[in-house]
């Protein structure tokens, strides 16, 4: 049970595995008005930056669950680096089947709604661990504008154009699911640039060091095509944000 190796190679220098800068993560933490002692569950927690920095900055406590052994190890190391390992735990496991033993104050899935088969399923999954009146965080892509064709959709990591919604429709969906949107912090094009361009740097440095590896051919192909595809399609059409919800 793990992520494909190419994913961890691609994101080897990332602390945040989404198009979100540390500055935007900090803005989000302040916007949520987190009280000391807030109990947080972060499903698909990646390398643990959200939990570790919020434990440090807002004195919350938390548990993160992620399927990647590499990211889980990184998260534990980050907790030790920031001196918060006594207030946060990172578990290696399948987040799609994880429920908190006791209701939490904040339940999050930031950028991995596949764990619930989409937004609706992830909202339901998080809701099982959330106390009444608690905060839910969903990080999700959306279309910055209507996509012109299916080729554009596929170039933006969607199987079909209707895999994602435009921003107003995504916010309406949260309402249809029984939640009020109470905060949001959106990635911008610079956030996307920092996230995607760092992937290319990681891949190139890895390729230089591992030219005979079995992944080398795939990495070379990705480096040859992804920067232009990003500039042509993803940068103009694909948005991403984190939305804070409270159940009605």
Answer whether 41's CB lies under 8 Å from 62's CB. yes
Helix 216-229 to helix 189-209 angle (10° resolution) is 160
Tell me what pLDDT residue 1 has.
78
> pTM for the whole thing?
0.96
Give the span between the Cα atoms of 216 and 17, in whole angstroms. 22
- State whether residue 152 is helix, strand or coil: helix
Closest CA to 229 of 240, 238, 218, 241: 238
pLDDT in tens, 174-199: 999 999 999 999 999 999 999 999 99
Q: According to the model, what pLDDT value does residue 214 have?
A: 97
Residues (pLDDT < 70) of the chain are none
* CB 144, CB 187: distance < 8 Å: no
What is the DSSP annotation of 167-225?
HHHHHHHHHHTTEEEEEEEE--HHHHHHHHHHHHHHHHHHHHH-TTSTTHHHHHHHHHH
User: Residues 93, 198, 139, 145: is their CA dihedral positive or negative?
Assistant: negative
Structure tokens at 64: 């993160």
Residue 16 is predicted with a pLDDT of 97
Strand, coil or helix: 227: helix
Q: According to the model, what pLDDT value does residue 105 have?
A: 98
Q: Is 110 helix (H, G, I), strand (E, B) or coil?
A: strand
């Amino acid at each position: 049970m793990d992520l494909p190796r190419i994913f961890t190679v691609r994101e080897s220098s990332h602390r945040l595995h989404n198009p979100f800068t540390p500055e935007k993560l900090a803005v989000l933490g302040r916007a949520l008005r987190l009280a000391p002692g807030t109990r947080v569950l972060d499903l698909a927690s990646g390398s643990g930056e959200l939990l570790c920095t919020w434990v440090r900055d807002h004195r919350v406590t938390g548990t993160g669950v992620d399927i990647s052994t590499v990211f889980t190890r990184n998260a534990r190391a980050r907790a030790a680096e920031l001196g918060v390992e006594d207030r946060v735990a990172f578990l290696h496991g399948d987040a799609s089947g994880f429920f908190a033993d006791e209701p939490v104050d904040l339940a999050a899935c930031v950028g991995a709604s596949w764990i619930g088969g989409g937004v609706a399923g992830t909202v339901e999954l998080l809701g099982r661990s959330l106390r009444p009146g608690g905060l839910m965080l969903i990080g999700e892509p959306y279309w910055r504008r209507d996509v012109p064709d299916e080729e554009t959709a596929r170039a933006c990591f969607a199987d079909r154009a209707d895999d994602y919604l435009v921003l107003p429709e995504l916010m309406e969906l949260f309402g249809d699911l029984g939640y009020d949107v109470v905060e949001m912090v959106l990635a911008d094009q610079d956030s996307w640039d920092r996230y995607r361009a760092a992937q290319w740097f990681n891949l190139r440095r890895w390729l230089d060091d591992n030219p005979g590896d079995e992944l080398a051919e795939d990495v070379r192909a990705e480096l040859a095509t992804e920067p232009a595809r990003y500039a042509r399609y993803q940068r103009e059409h694909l948005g991403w944000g984190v939305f804070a919800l409270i159940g009605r």
